[in-house]
Structure formats: C-alpha cells, structure tokens
Structure 1
Amino acid sequence: MYIPEHFKMETEFIYQSIKENPFSILVSEIDGEMIATHLPLLLSEDKQSLIGHFAKPNPQKESFEKEVLCIFSGPHCYISPSWYETDRSVPTWNFTAVHAKGILTIVEDPEKIHKSLLALVKRFESKDSNYNVDFVDTQYIEGLKKGIVPFEIKITQLEGKQKLSQNHSLERRNLVIQELELLPGENERAIAKLMKDSIR
C-alpha cells in the first residue's frame, strides 16, 4: 500500500483499527489467479495472528501455507474543495485502511476450532441478545463445523494508512471537521472524530 510518511498509521492504532473493522477482504493467489473472500477476522490475544474460517466449498481454502493479504477498511468519506478557504484546491477522499500479510494455516485441533467459533459469536453478538451459543445443541454445532475450514494467519507484515488531511494546514483541517460534523452519515462523523483526535 502506498503510504506517504504523514499518512502512516501507528502500530497500536493498526491493532485498534482491525478490532473496530473486523470485516475484511482476504486475497490470495490460486493457480495463477487472484481470488478474494469477504469475511470477519479476529485478531488473536497476542496480536500475532488473525483467526477465521472459509465455507468448505470455497476454493480459497487451497491457500494453506501460502502468503495472503487481508484488507481492513475503516471509515471513509468525500472531502469537497468547497469547504476550503480558497478555490485553489481539488476534491479528495479521507479514509483509514489496514493491510495485513501472513501465512495461512488450516486449524485441525477440535478444541482450538471450538474456541475460535465461540470467540467470533461472542465478539459480534449484542450483550443484551437472548442468543447464547453455549446453549445451542452440541450435535447441531458439530454438524455445522463439517461445513467450514477454520484457519489461522500468522502475521508477517502490518501497515496502516490514515488519510485525514494531514497534508493541509490546521485551519483547513478544522474547516473540514466543521463541515463533516454537519453531515448525517456515520462515515463522515467517524472521519471528523479521527481528524479531531489527530490534531490534539
């Protein structure tokens, strides 16, 4: 990923961004063809691996022992030049993104598989939900496991980009924040907050 120095994301924010935006695009090469799967990935507790699973029919399961690329997209939005104090400007896009490269291995340990599936459910299920995976029929769960290919990606490279108008003056950045805060979209509000945090 092309990352000018002033857009480079610090390591701790990279980990935070993965946790906040876990729905990723996993890209790999199979028989000379690029292939991608959209799926949630969890960062391991030691921050060394990403954990997930493919549907068994997915040909991307053949990526085992190969390097893969996982793309995590954060908030993003259009930045209008009409918001600036001058007409000597052009439109742009502010965003955050993380790329993680690593070696994919298939997980076969039944206990490890079960723990990873529980972790996925507990990560995304609302705390006030009446659904509890611990109470689901064990045989039903075991049957579903036969339809997936659990995997772990040992991270070899992490890089993050946060393009938040850092290449503009403080005055201009504040003007952009003001305009974004007037818009109703979640992405616009999220970018405004990140911009505020970046200039504190």
Structure 2
Amino acid sequence: MYIPDHFQMETNFIYQSIDENPFSILVSNNQGEMMATHLPLLLSEDKKSLIGHFAKPNPQSLSSGTEVLCIFSGPHCYISPAWYETERAVPTWNFTAVHVKGILTTVEDPKKIHESLLNLVKRFESQDSKYKIDSVDTNYIEGLKKGIVPFEIKITHIEGKQKLSQNHSVERRNLVISNLDLMSGENEKAIASLMKKGLNQKTP
C-alpha cells in the first residue's frame, strides 16, 4: 500500500483499527488466479496472528501454506474542495485502512477450533443476547464444524494508512471538520472525530 510519511498509521492504532473493523477482505493467489473472500478475522492475544475460517466449498480453503493479504477498511468519506478557503483545490477521499500479509495454515486441533468459534461468538454477540453457543446441542455444533475450514494467519507484515487531510494546514483541516460535523452519516462523523484527534500532527 502506498503510504506517504504523513499518512502513516501508528502501530497501536493499527491494532485498534483491526479490532474495530474486523470484517476483512482476504486475498490469495490460487494456482495463478487471484481470489478474495469477505469474512471476519480476529487478532490473536499476542497480536502475531489472525484467526478465522472458510466455508469448506470455498476454493480459498486450499490456500494453506501460502501468503495471503488481508484488507481491513475503516471509516471513509468524500472531501469536497468547496469546503476550502480557495478554489485551487481538488476533490479527495479521507479514509483509514490496514493491510496485513501472512502465511495461512489450516487448524486441525479440535480444541483450538472450538475456542476460535467461541471467541467469534463472544466478540460479536451482544452481552444480553439470548443466544449462548455453549447451550446449543453439541451434535449440531459438531455437524457445523464439518462444513468449515478453520485457519490461522501468521503475520509477516502489517501496515496502516490514515489519510485525514494531514497534508493541509490546520486551518483548512478545521474547515473540513466543520463541514463533516454538519453531516449525518456515520462515516463522516467518524472521520471528523479522527481528524480532531490528529490536529496536533505537523503538516508536511
């Protein structure tokens, strides 16, 4: 990913961004054909791996032992040059994104497979939900496991981009924030919030 120095995402925020935006695009090269799957991935506690699973019929389930790329997209929105104090500007897009490369291996250990499924449910199911995976019929769960291919991705490279108008003056960034604050979209609100936090960053 092309990342100018002033758009470089700090390491701590990279991990936070993965946690907040876990639904990723996993890209691999299967026998010369580029393939992609949209799926949730969880970061391991030691931050060295990503955990997930494919549906067994998915051709990408045969990617074990190969390098894959996982793309995590955060908030993003259009930035209009009409918000600037000059007409000498062009439209652009502010966004955050994380790219993770790693070696994918399938998981065979039944204990690890069960733990990964429990962690997925725990991560996304609300605390007051009536659904409790531990109370689901064991035979039913075991049947479902036969239809998936659990995997672990050992991270070899990780990078993040946070394009939040850092290449513009503080005055112009404040103008952008003011306009985004007037909008109702969640992406616009999120970008405005991130821009406010980054106002102390130096412009190039």
**Shorter-chain TM-score range:** over 0.9
Does residue 1:138 correspond to 2:134, yes or no? no
Tell me how far 1:52 sits from its aligned partner. Answer: 0.1
**Which residue number in structure 1 is paired with residue 119 of structure 2?**
119
Q: Which runs of 5+ in 2 are unaligned?
A: none
User: Which consecutive segments of 4 or more residues in structure 1 shift more than 2 A?
Assistant: none
Percent identity, aligned pairs only, is 79
State the SS of the aligned residue for 2:45: coil
Partner residue in 2 for 1:155: 155
Please give the alpha-carbon distance, in whole angstroms, between the structure 2 residues aligned to 1:81 and 1:164: 14
After the TM superposition, which residues 27-66 of structure 1 pair with which residues of structure 2 at under 5 Å, given as runs?
A: 27-66=27-66
Shift of 1:128: 1.6
Q: CA deviation at 1:134?
A: 1.1
Instruction: State the alpha-carbon separation in 1 of the partners of residues 137 and 99 from structure 2.
Output: 37
Structure 1 unaligned segments of length 5 or more: list them. none
Give, as a single letter, the amino acid of the residue that structure 1 aligns with 2:82: S
2:39 aligned with 1:10: no
What TM-score, normalized to structure 2?
0.97
Aligned to 1:24: 24
Instruction: Give 2:59's aligned amino acid.
Output: P
2:107 alignment partner in structure 1 = 107
Report the equivalent of 1:193.
193
Q: Any idea what SS the aligned residue of 2:78 has?
A: strand
Provide the secondary structure at the position in 1 that maps to 2:77. Answer: strand
The superposition leaves residues 2-35 of structure 1 with CA deviations (integer Å, 9 ceiling, x where unpaired) of 0000000011100000000000000000010100
Structure 2 distance, partners of 1:124, 1:179, is 33
Q: What is the count of residue pairs matched by the alignment?
A: 200
Per-residue CA deviation, residues 83-133 of structure 1 (Å, 9 max, x unaligned), is: 001111010000000000000000000000000000001100011211111
Tell me how far 1:153 sits from its aligned partner: 0.1
SS in 2 for 1:39: strand
Q: CA RMSD in A?
A: 0.5
Separation in 1, partners of 2:175, 2:136: 52
Q: Provide, for residues 13-60 of structure 1, a one-character-per-residue CA deviation record: whole Å limited to 9, x for no partner.
A: 000000000000000000101000000000000000000000000000
Structure 2 distance, partners of 1:105, 1:31, is: 17
Q: Distance in 2 between matches of 1:164 and 1:196?
A: 10
Q: Measure, in 1, the Cα distance between the counterparts of 2:101 and 2:190.
A: 26
C-alpha distance in 1 between matches for 2:162 and 2:115:
33
User: For 1:132 and 1:22, how far apart are their aligned partners in 2?
Assistant: 21
